Amino acid sequence: LWEEAGPDFFGSDLVLANLETPLDVSRPSSFVPEVMLNDMHFNTDERTFGIFSGAGQYKGFDVLSIANTHSLDMGVEGLDATMGFLKGKSIDYVGAKRQLEERDYVIKEINGIKVGIVAYTYSLNQLLPPQGMEWKVNHLPLNRQDCDIQMIREQVKACKVSGAEYIICSM
């Protein structure tokens, strides 16, 4: 997988990607094409994650966005398990949070430059966070013309207050 692109991709000062699946190791994996036959709820395992993270040949990911259409495929528990897994691997994540008071953006210093990273999704497929837990995933109807982007404005401002000179937004 990484033979040709690995050195360039993982050799970057900042390796940022979207993790388009929950990673709950307590549940069985569910991949394409099998999920195409049922509910389309993804889940990956540590082995597959390792392959996509450079198979131990490279530094791996610095930051992963976990705000995407599959964020809640394994429910809130699966989202929390994903965040716990990434934290255990010392990989920063954006776009979701475990507790309401946590910040859901990251500031990385790269060659003396502070970069803020935020992430959002416009769709969680047919799923939504439980009532009262809407804060779990940065979910905004960005595909609608009248979408209120105040959440984005607030996060960008928080990144700037935290010293970010540049801001990357994964949508």
Cα–Cα distance list, 161 to 115, 126, 154, 155 (Å): 12, 35, 10, 10
**What's the pLDDT at 40?**
80
- Exposed e or buried b for every residue in 43-56, given b needs 16+ CB within 10 A? bbbeeebeeebbee
pLDDT band per the 50, 70, 90 thresholds, residue 57: very high
76, 130 Cβ separation under 8 angstroms: yes
pTM of the model: 0.93
Share of the chain above pLDDT 90, in %: 86
Give me the chain's average pLDDT, please.
93
If you average pLDDT over residues 88-103, what whole number do you get?
96
**Token pair listed for 37:** 């036959």
Task: Residue count of the chain, please give it.
Answer: 171
**Pairs from 80-85 (Cβ < 8 Å, separation ≥ 24):** 81/22, 81/23, 81/24, 81/25, 81/26, 82/19, 82/22, 82/23, 82/24, 85/23, 85/24, 85/25, 85/46, 85/49
End-to-end Cα, the chain, rounded Å: 25
Residue 17 pLDDT > 70, yes or no? yes
pLDDT band per the 50, 70, 90 thresholds, residue 120: very high
96, 75 Cβ separation under 8 angstroms: no
**What's the pLDDT at 2?**
87
Residue 122 pLDDT > 60, yes or no? yes
Residue 35 pLDDT > 80, yes or no? no
What's the CA gap between 149 and 159, in Å, rounded? 16
Residue 76 pLDDT > 90, yes or no? yes
**What's the pLDDT at 33?**
63
